[in-house]
Amino acid sequence: MTFLKRLVILILLWAWALQVAANTKLIEMKHPLSHYEINKMTNILGGQIRLFDKFNSPYFKRLYIVNTKIPTAQILSQPLVKKVESADVIHPYSVKPSKEHSRLSNDPLLPYQWAVENTGQVIGQDIDDITLLRKIGTRDAAIDFTSNEDVDRRLKREVVVAVIDTGVDTFHPDLRESIYLNSSECINGELPLNPKEDKDNNGYKGDCKGWNFTGADTNNGSRVIDDVGHGTHVAGIIAARINNEVGIAGLANKIKILPLKVFRQEYENQRGSKNANAIGTTDRLAKAILYATQMRVDVINLSLGWPLALDKNYLHEAIRAAIDNNIVVVAAASNNNHSAPILPCALNGVICVGSIDNDGSVSAFSNFGMHVDVLAPGDNILSSFPTALEPRLFSVSGYDLKSGTSQSAPYVSALAAILKAAHPEFTTTDILNLIISSSRDLQVTSTKTFLAGMISFKNALSGAIKKKVLPVFKENDHLTFKMTDKTAIFNMQVLNPTRSVLSSIININSLSDHAVTVNLPLQVTLNPQQSKIFPIKINILDVTKSSDVFIDIKIDEIHYKQHLSISRELDNDSDIKIISAPNISKPDLLSLESQHFRPEMPMYFNVELNEEVGKINIFSVDANELQQLGSIIIPYLKFLLGFTLIDLDNDGILEYQAIAHIKNLDSENIEYYNFAYDLKPFAQQPHFILKVENVLQSQNELSYLYKNILGKKHAVPFFFAVGPIPVIDQPKDPFLPKIFEAANHLYYFAPSDSLTDKGEATLTTHIVDSPAFMKFWKKKLKLRSFADIRLLHIMPQTEDDLRKNQIRLIVSVGLDYQRTASLVIMTFDSDGKLNWQWSPLNTSGLVIDGYQLSRTINLQDLKNKETTLIGPQQSTMWDKLSLAADGTTSHLTRIQGEDISEDFKMYAGDYLDKDVRYSFIQTISEKLFSVENNGKVKNYTMPFYVSSFLPGNTFLERGYPIWFHAEKNLPALYIDAGQIFQKSAYLIIGDQTGITAPLYMNVNVPESCRALNPSLWGEIYNFTLLCEKDKKWELRLLPMQKLNY
């Protein structure tokens, strides 16, 4: 396979979510289609439309799936169509035993299972490279397990738990007897080799031991091999064989596991090497849930999750179908230490599980909030692991230690299964009531809130619970208000989970001084297993205060603390500006950015693709209308990798540059297309073909040098990326080995000095730090043999740098930690070769290798006059070094954090206001705002919302550094929360007294709208929503400035 083909595969994987969303469509029709209508829609959509699943429900009878390139807006225009959704990528989520243990079973690794029997096992937790925190276990932290004999005596039948995950090692010695067998599809209890028929008529041939939904061939998925390890680990917690003198002990031998594989291992690079990440798609997860429902399992375990950005109605319907069929659905709360609801945990009817440690404290990583129902052990859990894989943290093959709420959920799934086996007549509401009402209070005080406490097997099995009305904190934490009445409505839902009539008194009080509740208290009477919703009015007293409001809900004598997030509705808001968009037909508009120059008015573009041509449409705001400036045509455009405005020839006039993946019958290339501002092909050189090696141009910050090519000046992009040394820069000495290992290099794409035989201009991949170039400078600087030169950063390129045709580099020289830093001015000489001019860089004695770099926004003139470097000295101590343009140190600040678990994650923004300096830093779970005034540093924090399950797959809130216009400009971060937990965009604003996310700067993004990047009009940023109203599109702009309320 050629490298280009391998790289194209990588490109497609990198853009997988977008490609899947563009091509795989799930279409809800207004009614089930006849054969005639199916054929008609197939012809219209250009792809075979078929029923999504044969599951028997009114919704799924009219849900169809198709692979098509027809735009969503065009599909929605068909009279048969009700709703269109895409299929998106989703991701799932060392112990020292005590000498004292009671031997609940003869399984030899039971003493390591502190969650089952906590006898004081010690867990070591690394805080940093030299600090080890030892946690000694306590008995109350275990699941309060009774005995295997007691459990077996109570169980009246076998029960089945569907583990929807990465698959299961069905031949594992501790699991092979615990796998559910669909006997009609098995041959002597094993998988048929090549099944020819669907013996049970469920649509899946040979589904003897579950089904693999990740394969391209939907008719051949009988093998559920776990190539990651996550699913096998979950399955072992639930049902590893007890008293088989092997490995660990599960929780009941009458529990059977139905393995449903929806995640597969992700391949990391073009050579096919693997990593520990797992990937799946939302449509396959929905099919797995429907399969489990069809197979009439008792419990579904979902140690996985997805953020709001990937939420789908068909996933909700699949989970609802399971619950309606009396299946208990258990989900992990996620591992990001915040209270924002993550799906499916926050869905009504799903039991959501957080994590505790072996000492009874809430795990530092565990999510929390009142949508999290109960807690179970999740830290350093020993369980089964595929025998074909190498364990990472345990020395016995076939077993490994893992931490996370993914490990907590299966304890609750096992408890639910045991309760269903003991009480076959119980409903899902009965099971929910037993699990929640039998839970125990936490023995270690925590500021984190949960609906209930730690699970107790003993209490739940004995049925010793108190009858009480329960609040339901699902799908009701995000409220909206209008500026006209400043009132939000909280739909308070309560449930009587018992089989008796219950009456309760409900009182709700605001714990936030800028909001009050009205129309309370309530006296309610609920029939058995009845649920009711009561709308509670919340009056907002001050919209400049936080958009986070906390309320205390008292039901009889029990208090619950609920966090509400309140956003501002912009529909008919008098402060917004409406820009009509008559040329927009679908919500695919993107902001057109230029990192060096600011257009007079905001500009946008979208892309239209068909088989033979791609079209980039460009728009700009004129008065109150978004007008189309024109279109750029690119033949055989497969995928647009980048589109930007740059000055290609250093004449002060901007041009457009498109980076395109081109595929036709004869070739497949990465190509650069250049166009003048009037959209005509750029006269100097309109088109380059990139000689693809093993790196693509970074779409982050680029810098440019201008080089004379064929007698004309042309911009050459420079960027840092991880990859091997290009062929042209490999050592020329035949006796020296070639270097193919990936490393961080400073790449550039150099235009060729001549055209090819076909008259084509090409770009060749180079690195600045080539072995020859580094050897030259080591000799010139008289460095010792083991010393090296490291290129650390490009200082943000200014307009002045462009005019001088220079790039400023920060370079580190030396041995290990005996290093010095230099400022290097890099230019092209008259021969087109790179030239360096060195000068010392004052770093105040700090070794800055590994520091992050950021522009510093001067809040006085809104220009970037300084560059800031920030890096950790310890896990919670960071040094911030501010550099002037000439490399002299202008200021050094030391920022001290507080929580030992809050490691530095990323640098979000830096600001200067005369003598006051501000910084936004994102840690693992917090946004830290640092203020330095007169040499004193003070820190303020807010939660940092992330969604991740399996390692390496993360959705996170990214702060976009801007400024807020008040009496004077203030530092601010713009955040689009729609990626994680709620459909809103908001500002975090800081000053010398702290930070806040004010109510009137938290904007609701309704279903009919999409949030675009904030647009800059003059010196004032605006929230920008693209919205559909009466089948027409418009931009809604809200200035990010202080208003008189």
Dihedral of CA atoms 872, 873, 878, 883 in degrees, nearest 10, equals: -90
CA distance 367 to 337: 4
Non-local CB neighbours of 509 within 8 Å, separated by 6+ positions: 517, 520, 551, 552, 554
Proportion of the chain in helix, strand, coil states, percent, rounded to 5: 15, 40, 45
User: What is the three-state SS of 963-990?
Assistant: EEECCCEEEEEEEEHHHCCCCEEEEEEE
Closest alpha carbon to 434 in 442, 443, 425:
425
DSSP code of residue 362: B
> Which among 165, 647, 913, 976 is annotated as catalytic?
165
Shortest CA distance to 468 belongs to which of 347, 554, 586, 551? Answer: 554
Question: For the chain, first and last CA: distance in Å?
Answer: 64
CA atoms within 13 A on the CB side of 127: 13
Q: Residue 777: name the closest of 830, 836, 822, 825 by CA.
A: 836
And the tokens for 734?
A: 């035949």
- Looking up tokens 């080890």 gives 132
The answer to whether 331 and 353 have CB atoms below 8 angstroms apart is yes
* C-alpha span between 100 and 88 (Å, rounded): 49
Q: Quick check: is 591 catalytic?
A: no
What gap in Å lies between CA 718 and CA 725, rounded to an integer? 15
Please give the torsion angle defined by the CA atoms of residues 973, 510, 365 and 461, in that order, rounded to the nearest 10 degrees. -160
Q: How far is CA 1044 from the centre of its chain?
A: 37
Catalytic, 230? Answer yes
Instruction: Respond yes or no: is residue 406 known to be catalytic.
Output: yes
Distance of CA 779 to the CA centre of its chain: 46
1026 in Cβ contact with 581 (< 8 Å)? yes
Tokens 């693709």 -> residue: 609
Three-class secondary structure assignment of 851-911: CEEEEEEECCCCCEEEEEEEEEEECCEEEEEEEECCCCEEEEEEEECCCCCCCEEEEEEEE
- Total length of the chain: 1045
Give the burial class of 602: count Cβ atoms within 10 A of its Cβ; 0-12 exposed, 13-18 middle, 19 or more buried.
buried
* Residue (of 480, 552, 462) closest to 516 by Cα position: 552
Amino acid at 815: L
Residues 6 or more apart in contact with residue 532 via CB below 8 angstroms:
493, 494, 524, 526
**CA-to-CA separations, 903 to 377, 643, 881, in angstroms, rounded:** 24, 35, 19
**CA–CA distance, 254 with 242 (Å, rounded to integer):** 10
Yes or no: say if 460 and 419 are a contact pair by the CB < 8 Å rule. Answer: yes
Q: Which residues is 658 bridged to in the sheet?
A: 643, 673
Which residues are bridge partners to 607 per DSSP? 616
**Out of 91, 101, 172, 230, which one is annotated catalytic?**
230
Catalytic residue among 303, 355, 363, 406: 406
Taking the C-alpha atoms of residue 974 and residue 1015, their distance in angstroms, rounded to an integer, is 11
Buried b (16+ CB within 10 A) or exposed e, 476-488: bbbbbbebeebeb
Q: How far apart are CA 94 and CA 123, in angstroms?
A: 6
State how far the Cα of 1018 lies from the Cα of 441, in Å rounded to an integer.
56
Question: Where in the sequence numbering do the catalytic residues fall?
Answer: 165, 230, 406
